[in-house]
Amino acid sequence: MTYAAGKMLLEKQGSIGWMIFNNPERRNAVSKAMWQAIVQVVAELERDPEIRVIVVRGAGDKAFVSGADISEFDQVRATSEAVAEYEATSDRACRALELAKKPTIAMINGYCVGGGFDIALRCDLRFAAEDSKFGIPAARLGVGYPFGDIKRLVDHIGPMKAKEIFFTGRQFSAKEALAMGFVCGVVPSTQLEDAVLSVASMISDNAPLTMAAVKKCVLESKKTPQEWDAATCEAMVAACFGSEDYREGRRAFLEKRPPRFIGR
């Protein structure tokens, strides 16, 4: 399936859904239409009961996502009102990805900078090719960064590293990204897809209700105690124990065979 005049692709491969940024001639820079399409793609993959994992990648081998498409800023960010509307659009897209109930994996090959860095950050897991480059060049462009986005990065890598990334605006390597805990693993570019598919397949074999409950609990843990939605977390955990999958998991363990989970 295609969206945003072919600049966003949705593909399904068994239990794995692919969201592909298809703008390789601009290193997969994200236009406003592409931001809007992210919401649609995530919603479609969330609706499909056969899809257990969502993998996010860029087309080609030059970039995951190189940021927002600055070439259209004179049209879509020309006034303060337009800037506010654009920011709301990109925030909806990133929140759709972050709040997806299904596990998400960023497959990073090449440049992952600016808005691409934020897209990767919203995914649950991130794996990178050895020659990938990361960075947030906001200070080089005079761009202000919202509190929520900065806090999200601080929560992942700590305040000192977050300040280094913003203060210097420099690009850093996949090795550095691994050392600071931004990515789960780094492999040669020729092995990246196989590595991601291996992890995605492992995840897709597990109980969907359990993973959704874990994801919700982790998201809530980042909030202040006053903001916690403990009731929903408790309900999702209880639903796991009342599910057919819980009964299947027990039977499979006793029968010494792989479980066959159905997500209910």
| pLDDT at res. 224 | 84
59: part of which helix (H) or strand (E)?
A: none
CATH class of 2-203: alpha beta
| pLDDT at res. 215 | 94
Prediction pTM value:
0.93
| pLDDT at res. 146 | 84
| pLDDT at res. 71 | 80
Nearest-angstrom CA–CA distance, 199 and 203: 6
H and E: helices and strands count for the chain: 12, 11
| pLDDT at res. 136 | 93
Tens-digit pLDDT profile for residues 111-132: 999 999 999 999 999 999 999 9
What residue segments make up the domains of the chain, in order of their start? Answer: 2-203, 206-254
| pLDDT at res. 225 | 87
Given a contact cutoff of 8 angstroms between Cβ atoms, the answer to whether 127 and 106 are in contact is yes
Nearest-angstrom CA–CA distance, 149 and 163: 13
Beta partners for 108?
128
* Residues of the chain where predicted confidence (pLDDT) is lower than 70: none
Nearest to 113 by CA among 66, 147, 71: 66
| pLDDT at res. 255 | 95
Instruction: List Cβ neighbours of 149 (8 Å cut-off, separation of 6 or more).
Output: 118
Given a contact cutoff of 8 angstroms between Cβ atoms, the answer to whether 262 and 244 are in contact is yes
What length is written for the chain? Answer: 264
| pLDDT at res. 84 | 86
Given a contact cutoff of 8 angstroms between Cβ atoms, the answer to whether 116 and 224 are in contact is no
Tens-digit pLDDT profile for residues 24-62: 999 999 999 999 999 999 999 999 999 999 999 999 989
